[in-house]
Amino acid sequence: MFEFKILHKGAMEKMEYLKAFLVGGLICVVGQILIDKTKLTSARVLVLFVTLGAILQGFGIYQKLVEFAGAGATVPLPGFGYSLAKGAIEEVSKVGFVGAFTGGVSRTAGGISAAVFFGYVISLIFNPRSK
Amino acid sequence: MKVRLKGTMKLGRSTYRFKSNVAISDCFTVVGKKEGQGPLSIYFDMVIEDEYAGQKSWELAEGKLLNIAITKLVQRAGEKPDNIDLILSGDLLNQLSSSHFAARDLDIPFIGIYGACSTFALSVGLASLFVDSGFAKNVIAATSSHFCSAEKQFRYPLELGTQRPPTSQWTVTGAAAFLIKQEDSSQSPKITHFTVGRILDFGIKDPNNMGAAMAPAAFDTIMRHFSDTKRSFDYYDMIITGDLGYVGRKLLDELFKKEGIRFSSELFDCGILMFDPETQNTGAGASGCAASACVFGGYLYKLLRERTFEKILIVPTGALMSQSTALLGESIPVIAHALAIEIV
């Protein structure tokens, strides 16, 4: 019985990885198709993804995807939009209207600061070159 | 008033015919690592593997390449810098930075010109006018481009690591310099005609699809060259466009087909000759000032000297957008200039 439980837990973990892989991969597939088949620049795809994540979360849809796929949904760009929307909504319920302006950035502050910090550190260590 | 220089004669609306023997006496090409691995690798005079060329920025690196091309050309031609009357040079960067960097310790009179990727024909054509008129004896026409500095200025900084769409072209890293002078020996290819293009704009806004934007300009200039010179399409052994790449080249074929024009001379494109898209991941082909300049200077110039070809028409095209006009959502003005280069 005990052994079965461990086995079962391992299988569940593997399912988690699989779900994250599939959902994260599918989001990237959408981005790839947009770059290959439309004239959208990568910067526009980026903005589109963030906006889309925020709108979907505004309707509570992206939350379900996050519950299903975990990091597969939070790590790609729509996940950033999701965090912005979620933070804003939560903060509005705590402090009122002003929360719409503070909540999103507060919730994503860690990610933004980390991006600035590591971007700076990396730029000190490496020189850019062509691929 | 009809303007008539000593040797030059104007034909039709936009073609200048040089009466004296204006020759490309010598040329020097230097390219980057990727170009040095391409199908034309053995033809270039020098390959510099380091994309910084020992400098601290890409803009300086591009200037260094151009400086090397010019100084090595002067050395090989056995000329003293004092005997060079003029340098005509241009590149893709804002305010022609790399040309100005390249020329700042040369102490030779300098004119900067901008024609985007058509700069090769523009600089050689103008140099020929100076030489044919007798105002100058030795003129250097030069141009350069660099993949990294062009990406940084026109698209995205490389640090961003963006994906390139399949229609985008790969800017050639390299520089070429040409010594234009009067020369009577039949060894050196002569520039016989220079057809100045006009600005066209067909409303294409995608800076990742310049080949399609430039194809009509190449078509227009080729047609005008033939109507001005009354030459037939079969006169040339080879007609070669600058950097239309695969996408633009296909469009040019369609334009000729639509007009019902067929010709037996071969139609090539420098942007297609430069790289091998299968192994080099270069998308729709090469682009940049150095594409036509290095393919001509490295490869075609030698074929002309060996008499594999005797008459070619080279038509480099330029997409004249800037980063601000792209952000304003403006369409891309385009131009093409043509040079008839012959063994006479």
Q: Do A35 and B165 touch (CB under 8 A)?
A: yes
Q: Do B147 and A130 touch (CB under 8 A)?
A: yes
| pTM, to two decimals | 0.88
- Percentage of chain A lying above the pLDDT 90 cut: 76
**Is the ipTM reported for this complex over the cut 0.90?**
no
DSSP state of A96: -
To the nearest whole angstrom, how far is the Cα of A87 from the nearest Cα of chain B?
27
pLDDT score for B5: 59
- Give the mean pLDDT of A86-95: 96
B85 inside 8 A of chain A by CB: no
Beta bridge partners, B241, equal B269, B315
To the nearest whole angstrom, how far is the Cα of B114 from the nearest Cα of chain A?
25
- B191, containing H or E segment: strand B190-195
In this predicted model, which residue has the larger pLDDT, A10 or B137? B137
Task: List per-residue pLDDT tens for chain B, 344 residues long.
Answer: 455 556 789 999 999 999 899 999 999 999 999 999 999 999 999 999 999 999 999 999 999 999 999 999 999 999 999 999 999 999 999 999 999 999 999 999 999 999 999 999 999 999 999 999 999 999 999 999 999 999 999 888 888 888 777 778 999 999 999 999 999 988 899 999 999 999 999 998 887 788 889 999 999 999 999 999 999 888 999 999 999 999 999 999 999 999 988 776 778 999 999 999 889 989 899 999 999 999 999 999 999 999 999 999 999 999 999 989 988 989 999 999 999 999 98
From B34, B160, B165, residue closest to A36, measured CB to CB: B165
Q: Is beta strand B238-241 parallel, antiparallel or unpaired with respect to B266-269?
A: parallel
To the nearest whole angstrom, how far is the Cα of B48 from the nearest Cα of chain A?
14
B33 inside 8 A of chain A by CB: no
Instruction: Give the tokens for residue B128.
Output: 């020929």
- CB contacts under 8 A, B 169-208 vs A, are 206, 208
- Closest residue by Cα to residue B26 from B301, B330, B230: B301
Burial class of residue B129 in the structure, from the number of CB atoms within 10 Å of its CB (0-12 exposed, 13-18 middle, 19+ buried)? buried
Instruction: Give the tokens for residue A77.
Output: 């760009």
Is residue A23 a contact partner of residue A65, using CB atoms and an 8 Å limit? yes
Q: Do B163 and A129 touch (CB under 8 A)?
A: no
pLDDT score for A1: 43
**What are the structural domains of chain B?**
8-182 (3.40.47.40), 190-342 (3.40.47.40)
Block residue for tokens 């016989």: B192
Distance CA B124, CA B289 (A): 13
DSSP state of A97: T
pLDDT score for B232: 87
Query: What is the chain A residue with the closest CA to B50?
Result: A129
